[in-house]
Structure 1
């Protein structure tokens, strides 16, 4: 999935992008630890399909809330690692993080017909549009 980066054509420092690009490999090492959620949304005439990447997150730690045309996905990620040499612990690390994404869609969602499936680190939401969300042209009398 594509990652968005912020660009400002009105930057006061013309070399800011050069220095940021130079430091990017260093800064990305810490970003691998933090949880993130990339999403794809496709629309058909009767439904939306939202795919969210949630690698390493158990489905019991994911919650999905639908409110009208807004979908909120929240997830908690816990990670721990331990490096031993023999019986001695050389390093032990723990990490906990929370990620949340909120998406507003053009049409309200039929909450009763919505489905969620999480397999292989990908959460797939099938979100049918409500029957009243279809456009209708009125005849002027």
Structure 2
């Protein structure tokens, strides 16, 4: 059953749904899945451990930038699929694009001591906190 939305002449853009429904088939990828990067961040004493899932991405296509307490992970992803039937190509699809995630942590990172390891499609970043960034409690006079 289709989704019904009541028409409202007071809506900011009454034709938004019409245009979105028209463009939806062009925006979707062939397999219906949008490329994504799932991440987990844990704090372990004086360091953060960030794990990013990047299945099908070669480690040479991954870049990590650290600026203070902000970590930016970007990756170029290429995916191809082909469906054949008795030697005759019926469908051939390709995807290429960039995935990017940015995380701002509570403490600045010591970028000179940070480490990155990528195995089996999982990028693991060990991000030590900057010395002296653990905070200070002030006494009120």
TM-score (norm 1): 0.71
Tell me, in whole angstroms, the C-alpha distance in 1 between the residues paired with 2:73 and 2:90: 37
- Structure 1 residues 70, 31: closer, same or farther in 2, change over 3 A? farther
Q: What SS does the aligned partner of 1:132 have?
A: coil
- The match for 1:105 is 105
Q: What SS does the aligned partner of 2:60 have?
A: helix
Cα drift, residue 81 of structure 1:
2.1
Tell me, in whole angstroms, the C-alpha distance in 1 between the residues paired with 2:89 and 2:140: 79
Structure 1 unaligned segments of length 5 or more: list them: 1-26
Tell me, in whole angstroms, the C-alpha distance in 2 between the residues paired with 1:31 and 1:62: 24
Does 2:45 correspond to 1:54? no
Higher helix share: 1
Cα drift, residue 83 of structure 1:
3.0
Cα drift, residue 136 of structure 1:
3.2
- The match for 2:43 is 43
- Paired residues, number: 114
Cα drift, residue 139 of structure 1:
6.3
Tell me, in whole angstroms, the C-alpha distance in 2 between the residues paired with 1:65 and 1:95: 25
- The match for 2:12 is none
- The match for 2:83 is 83
Tell me, in whole angstroms, the C-alpha distance in 2 between the residues paired with 1:136 and 1:50: 25
- The match for 2:25 is none
Structure 2 unaligned segments of length 5 or more: list them: 1-27
For 1:67-82, what aligned pairs fall within 5 Å after superposition? 67-82=67-82
Tell me, in whole angstroms, the C-alpha distance in 2 between the residues paired with 1:35 and 1:81: 14
- The match for 2:130 is 130
